[in-house]
Amino acid sequence: MNYLDHLSFLKSLKPEEEAKLKNDLIQLTPEKVWPDGMPASLDPKLVLVGVSPGNAPNYETEELRKESSDYCYSEPRAIKTENSHFYYPDARDYWIKLRYLSHSFFKRFHPEITEIQALSLTSHVNLGTGSAGSATIKDVEKDYVKWVSDLLNETHSPDLVVLFGLNGILKDDDISKWWNESGLRVDWKKPTNTFGFNGYIQRSYYFREWSVRNAKSHPIRLVIWPNHPSRPPFSDLSIWKQAVSEYLDNYVNESE
């Protein structure tokens, strides 16, 4: 797919068209309000999925957000700005790492694409809304698991979905059932492909991939990342970048 053409399509939307698409997406959410901390595209081609918003807010940023609802906004937009929640200044560089992943993905196909353009084609959603300090089964919520799965199956048609900290969680029988009840069908216990991360040799880490089609017959590649971006070995930004490079090499080679 030509992602720059898709970006041009989003840019060409009239204000009333953008407002309708945004409202339609909001109405699909469990609480009919777009969840904070989940910056979204109107029609993403890359979707990043986490467990929950985390428990390390930047207090200075939170004070600024009280003054302006547009500061670090999350709601879906056609074209993002640097006020997007993707630019939230967290202490663990979580959003820096996600911005790097998004930009790197789209640069593989369009070297000239800017970071903001890449983020305009990217959504980040969570399977829960609590402030969790760790990724555990109790941190995900049934309504949000079903919402994300349905979103990927019936509304959006991304080419790649990257999941963080969810390997053990999605294998849980109850949570797997929530995901598969009406949404994107995935057998979380049987990945299509598994391969090691070679950039860190002190311990074995693996990428786990699934290749599926959604209700629109669009092929989607899902990958569970070797570990959460805020946890070892990815607390080291250089190792994170190595993992992004390794994975995208594999993704592009398999796509050819």
Query: Percent of the chain, pLDDT > 90?
Result: 83
The answer to whether the beta carbons of residues 118 and 45 sit under 8 Å apart is no
Mean pLDDT score of the chain, rounded to an integer? 93
Helix (H) or strand (E) holding 140: none
Q: Is the pLDDT of residue 32 over 60?
A: yes
The total number of structural domains that make up the chain: 1
**pLDDT at site 130:** 78
* Number of neighbours of residue 146 by Cβ within 10 angstroms: 19
Instruction: State the amino acid at position 150 in one-letter form.
Output: D
Q: Is the pLDDT of residue 131 over 70?
A: no
- The 10s digit of each residue's pLDDT in 132-184 is 556 678 899 999 999 999 999 999 999 999 999 999 999 999 999 999 998 99
Domain that holds residue 212: 3-255
The answer to whether the beta carbons of residues 119 and 101 sit under 8 Å apart is no
- The 10s digit of each residue's pLDDT in 51-95 is 987 656 666 776 766 776 777 899 999 999 999 999 999 888 999
pTM reported for the whole predicted model: 0.95
**pLDDT at site 60:** 73
The answer to whether the beta carbons of residues 39 and 84 sit under 8 Å apart is yes
Q: Which residues contact 39 (CB under 8 A, 6 or more apart)?
A: 73, 74, 80, 84, 85, 86, 119, 123, 124
CB-based burial label for 135 (10 Å; 0-12, 13-18, 19+): buried
At 93, give phi and psi (nearest 5°). 60, 25
